[in-house]
Chain A
Amino acid sequence: MRQVVDYPALSAAISACMRPGMLTNCTLSGEELRREMAAGTLYAHPWAGGLLLFRRREGFWRMYYYINDPGCPPDLPWPSQVVTEIVRRPRDTAAAADLWQAWGFVRESTRIRMQRPGSETGEALPPPEAVDAEEAMDLLQRCFDPRTGCLPDLEELAANCAGGRVLTRRDEGGRLIALLRAAPYRKGWELRHLAADPGHRGEGLAGSLAAEFTRRFGEKGSVVWVREDYAAPRHIYEKNGFCPDGWTAAVLIRKDD
């Protein structure tokens, strides 16, 4: 695979893949691709069966695909630690996750999407506590696997913090021990991260943050992705009015050679 340095050539390669029956998990916009290319972290691998895109991250690669010929596996010297995520809507019939598992990937986890309709909140709350983005990032990094945790970059997190979209809990010494991060999603909100310091789990912090989220943001509809096998957070979301909507996502990691 090669680093992408020519955006028009990349755009043309993607357009060439856009044929009926194509399988893809890539919904990156042109702006996102250009930004990634400018950062020097975008790589591509065209092959007879389609096109792969990779975003280089600290210690792993995030992969996106355009497959035109499922009978033709990609031919490349695979880098180590390749992660991809495949969303499946209720109406989708193609099972791209099965294909990638046949091509050497293993399913790390399955996420389900849960939705909460908007509702009257009836409360005017004071603005949430201001939180420093680096402090918030430190907690997120302690709580999530960087490969699969969909962590924001510091710039995005700083914007969330400045916009009052990060709710927090601190211990008696003032140390940040739990947070909830929300971001706009279509006409409502997406609850992006709910994190409690491993040393403070079971204390009701996540539940109280989710309840605060519904009070602050619940007037509009919201969505959250949660691991299918994580019963505790699912229960918290259900308790706050979220229900599975049939969307799922397979998180796949390539077995290293």
Chain B
Amino acid sequence: MEELLQLLTETCPGIDFAGSEALIDDEILDSLDIVTIVSAIMDTYGVTISVDDLVPENFNSVAAMLALIQRLQA
């Protein structure tokens, strides 16, 4: 979790990832942020995220993103 949090903070500086469970729903992240985050996650974790994974539920919180990564690594 800490590693992912650090990656997200480096990728999208200025966003309080740890403090929100509704990053998309609360309009903290937008669709362009998601694309940037996806690129960073794929590069760092070696997973393939598809267009169909680009839904708010997968990016609303750090925990949701971690769950997506773990699902793709399984």
Contact = CB atoms under 8 A, between A and B. Distances in A.
A15 B32 CA distance: 15
Contacts of B63: none
B54 interface: yes
Given A15-B42, A29-B55, A186-B27, A22 B50 contact: no
A249 to B, nearest CB: 12
A89 B35 CA distance: 14
A15 B50 contact: yes
Contacts of A22: 35, 39
B48 A15 contact: yes
A154 to B, nearest CB: 25
Size category of the binding interface on chain A: 20 to 34
Nearest to B30: A89
A20 B51 contact: no
A18 B32 contact: no
Interface string A3-20: 000000011101100111
A33 interface: yes
A30 interface: yes
B30 to A, nearest CB: 7
A91 interface: yes
Interface in A89-103: 89, 91-92
A22 B43 CA distance: 12
Nearest to B26: A187
B52 A30 contact: yes
Interface in B15-69: 25, 27, 30-32, 35, 38-40, 42-43, 48-52, 54-55
A66 to B, nearest CB: 9
Contact of B43 (A20, A29, A30, A186): A20
B14 A91 contact: yes
A30 B35 CA distance: 13
A24 B39 CA distance: 11
Contact of A19 (B25, B39, B54): B39
Nearest to A68: B39
Contacts of A11: 50-52
A55 to B, nearest CB: 15
Nearest to B27: A186
Given A29-B54, A30-B51, A91-B14, A20 B30 contact: no
Interface of A: 10-12, 14-15, 18-22, 24, 26-30, 33, 87, 89, 91-92, 186-187
Interface of B: 14, 25, 27, 30-32, 35, 38-40, 42-43, 48-52, 54-55
